[in-house]
Each structure stands twice: as C-alpha cells, then as structure tokens.
C-alpha cells in the first residue's frame, strides 16, 4: 500500500488506471479520507465491503465530479417535480460536504446501494478527489476509509494503521479540513429527510429549501431509511463516556477530550483540547483525530466534553453519542 503524492498528475493517472482495473484506492476529500472503487463494477464494490468488514446491508456513497454526471448515476425521471426543485437548490452546495439520496440508475451496481433502488450521491470539494474521479471516467463509491465501526480517518496515516495490500495505494492530500462526514439528505419522499447531520446543518438546509426537514435520528422513528445508521459507530476501543458524568469512582488513567481550554473538574492523565475557545468547526475538524490519539494511549476511560445540540453541535454530538454507545 504505497502513499503517493495526490498533487502529482502521475499519481492521479496511476490511481485512475488501477480503479478502472477494479482495484481500491484511498483518496482525500474535504470531510474524511474515502476508500474508492469503480461504482459500476460489482466485484470492485464487493471488495470494498470485504476490506472494510462492512455489513452488506449498509449502502455506499457515489462520488462524481460534475453535476452533469448526476443523470448517469441517478434516475432523475423518477423524481417528483417537488423533489427536482429541491435538488436544484441543493446542487448549489456542490462541490461540497452534502450527499443527496435519489432514485438509482442502472449504471450503479446494485451492491453499491446494498440492493436498494436508491443511490446516495455527492461531489466532493477536494482537488485530488475531483482530479481522480475525472481521470477515472467512472463514478466512484467511497465509504470512509476505516474498518467498519471504527473512527473515520482524517489523515493518510490513519489508513496506514489498518490497511493491507488489498488497497492499491493512498493518495496523500494532507489533513481533511472539515473532519466529519458529509450531511446526508433523502429526497425520495414527500418531505426531505436528514439522514446524517454534518457541517451543512439542518437549520441551514431548512433555509435553503424553505420547507420542513424531518430528522431520522439514529434511535428515532425512521431507522429503515438509512440502513447504515445503526447506532454504534465511530467507536474507539477505549471506553468512552460523555459529560455530565458521575465523578465518584472514576478509574485512574483518564483522557479528557475538551472543546475549550478550561481544566476539567476531575483528575485526568491527559487533557486533549480540540479548540481553545469552543469554536465548533474546529472541534469537528479535530474530533476523530482526537479520539484516535487518546485511543492509542492505553487509557482506562476517555471522557468527552459536550455541546448544545443545535447547528454543528448536533453533528458533533451525533458522532460522539454513537462512539460512546454500548
Ligand atoms: O463525507 C462522506 O460522506 C465520506 C467521504 C469519503 O465522502 N463518505 C462516507 O461514507 O461517510 P460512509 O460509507 O462512511 O457513509 C455513507 C452513509 C451511511 O450512513 C449510509 O447508510 C448512507 O450514507 N447511505 C448511502 N446510500 C444510501 C441510500 N441509498 N439510502 C440511504 N442512506 C444511504
Ligand atoms: Mg463511515
């Protein structure tokens, strides 16, 4: 598994060739690193599930480079007029950290969507990702490049920790600027449904679409809509708990992940500050890396700070609650 410079056109040419040959390539996006494969190849897509240890019931996101390619991967004729007009508005976020669930077209292999008739699509906002997709000439499935259930990778080094030679290469693109995965919204129903909150928030989407947006919270009432949103996810191996906590009988070696530089009210072995002053974009950008760092220290417990569940705070708490789920 070589690490190649993603800004070198020769790396892109090589990786694109390998993708067309059905191999797997890790590439950077603005959110997290993705494990890429040709979305039109059943065997390449099946290799993704095998390498990640991902349940075959959890569908993948298709990455394209141009809005004009949307009609290749999605069957837009099956969209209602209302959903089409929502799609028009949402396409203003592309390239960017927004994934839209639409009716699937035949070119996307059914296993990419876990057999569903729908397809999740986004245009990533990263030059290496866009160059790679363009040169490959095929849409790419790209789940986050982590073992299923573990914390998503925001640096190439995170992929090197687990990947094996079934991954052909990693395109280096530096740390991901956003740090949490894209917002996922479904346009299949009569009302848009937020399936996964991200940096583009539900509040912002309500303003863009000028309508109500349902939120399929993981433990809520709409679990069948996004099979991948099973509750436990993003989990470090070390037990994780979120404040407020009972401070009696805490174990000895505690790592504290905080959203500002104030010292905790309990004894800690290590204090990892994600943002000096509770800047939530900064917290999101460092969240997965912070969890990974603390997870490597052989601690008894990781305690995480919390924030109000509005705006980006909803997305940060979504990831943390899943990571802490027993
Ligand atoms: O930011 C991202 O979206 C990253 C980067 C690499 O682009 N990718 C990513 O992929 O997070 P993954 O596989 O880790 O998450 C895909 C999410 C899952 O929650 C899955 O259930 C949902 O998208 N999804 C995919 N296809 C779907 C579909 N047809 N219907 C409903 N949900 C779908
Ligand atoms: Mg993932």
Judge if the beta carbon of residue 144 lies within 6 A of ligand 1: yes
Question: Which whole number is the average pLDDT over 4-21?
Answer: 98
Judge if the beta carbon of residue 58 lies within 6 A of ligand 1: yes
Determine the Cα–Cα distance for residues 11 and 29; give it in Å rounded to an integer.
16
CA torsion angle for 178, 180, 181, 187 (degrees, to 10)?
-90
* Radius of gyration of the chain, Cα coordinates, nearest whole angstrom: 19
Ligand 1 atom nearest residue 63's Cα: 7
User: Atom 15 (ligand 1): residue with closest C-alpha?
Assistant: 143
User: Atom 3 (ligand 1): residue with closest C-alpha?
Assistant: 182
Q: How confident is the model at residue 162 (pLDDT cuts 50, 70, 90)?
A: very high
Picking from 28-32, 126-130, 233-237, 313-317, which range would have the lowest pLDDT averaged per residue? Answer: 233-237
pLDDT for 234 equals 83
Q: How confident is the model at residue 107 (pLDDT cuts 50, 70, 90)?
A: very high
Q: What's the mean pLDDT when you consider all of the chain?
A: 95
Judge if the beta carbon of residue 108 lies within 6 A of ligand 1: no
pLDDT for 226 equals 61
- Per-residue pLDDT tens for 34-89? 999 999 999 999 999 999 999 999 999 999 999 999 999 999 999 999 999 999 99
Judge if the beta carbon of residue 26 lies within 6 A of ligand 1: no
pTM: 0.96
Cβ proximity of 45 and 22 under 8 Å:
no
Question: Which whole number is the average pLDDT over 166-172?
Answer: 98
Q: Which ligand is nearest to the CA of 29?
A: 1
Ligand 1 atom nearest residue 118's Cα: 29
Cβ proximity of 238 and 295 under 8 Å:
yes
Ligand 1 atom nearest residue 181's Cα: 1
Strand partners, 119: 102
Is residue 216 over pLDDT 90? Answer: no
Q: How many CB atoms lie within 10 A of CB 237?
A: 11
- Per-residue pLDDT tens for 218-265? 445 554 556 556 656 789 999 999 999 988 889 999 999 999 999 999
**142 Cα to the center of ligand 2, angstroms:** 9
pLDDT for 181 equals 98
Judge if the beta carbon of residue 142 lies within 6 A of ligand 1: yes
Is residue 276 over pLDDT 50? Answer: yes
Q: Is 25 helix (H, G, I), strand (E, B) or coil?
A: strand
Cβ-based neighbours of 293, under 8 Å, separated by 6 or more: 272
Judge if the beta carbon of residue 95 lies within 6 A of ligand 1: no
DSSP 17: H
Question: Which whole number is the average pLDDT over 108-126?
Answer: 97
pLDDT for 231 equals 59
The pair of structure tokens assigned to 149 is: 């259930």
Cβ proximity of 303 and 162 under 8 Å:
no
What is the percent of the chain with per-residue pLDDT over 90, rounded to a whole number? 92
Q: Which ligand is nearest to the CA of 31?
A: 1
Question: Which whole number is the average pLDDT over 118-139?
Answer: 98
Does residue 107 come out as left (phi exceeding 0), alpha (psi in the -120 to 50 range) or beta? alpha
């Amino acid at each position: 598994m070589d690490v190649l410079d993603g800004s070198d056109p020769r790396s892109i040419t090589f990786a694109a060739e390998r993708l067309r040959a059905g191999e797997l390539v890790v590439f950077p996006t603005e959110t997290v690193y993705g494990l890429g494969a040709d979305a039109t190849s059943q065997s390449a897509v099946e290799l993704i599930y095998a390498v990640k240890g991902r349940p075959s019931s959890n569908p993948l996101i298709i990455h394209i480079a141009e809005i004009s390619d949307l009609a290749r991967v999605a069957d837009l004729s099956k969209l209602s007029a209302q959903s089409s007009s929502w799609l028009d508005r949402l396409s203003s976020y592309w390239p960017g950290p927004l994934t839209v669930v639409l009716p699937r077209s035949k070119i996307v292999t059914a296993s990419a969507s876990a057999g569903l008739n729908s397809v999740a699509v986004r245009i990533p906002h990263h030059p290496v990702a866009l160059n790679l997709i363009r040169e490959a000439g095929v849409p790419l499935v790209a789940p986050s490049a982590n073992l299923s259930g573990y914390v998503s990778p925001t640096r190439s080094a995170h992929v090197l920790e687990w990947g094996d030679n079934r991954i052909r290469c990693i395109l280096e693109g530096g740390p991901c600027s956003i740090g949490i995965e894209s917002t996922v919204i479904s346009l299949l129903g009569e009302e848009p449904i937020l399936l996964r909150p991200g940096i583009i928030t539900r509040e912002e989407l309500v303003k863009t679409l000028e309508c109500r947006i349902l939120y399929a919270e993981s433990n809520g009432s709409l679990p069948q809509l996004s099979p991948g949103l099973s509750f436990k996810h993003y989990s470090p191996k070390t037990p994780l708990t979120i404040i407020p906590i009972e401070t009696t009988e805490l174990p000895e070696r505690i790592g504290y992940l905080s959203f500002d530089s104030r010292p905790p009210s309990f004894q800690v072995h290590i204090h990892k500050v994600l943002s000096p002053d509770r800047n939530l974009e900064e917290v999101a950008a460092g969240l997965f890396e912070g969890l990974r760092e603390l997870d490597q220290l052989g601690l008894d417990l990781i305690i995480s700070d919390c924030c109000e569940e509005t705006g980006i705070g909803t997305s940060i708490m979504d990831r943390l609650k899943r990571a802490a789920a027993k």
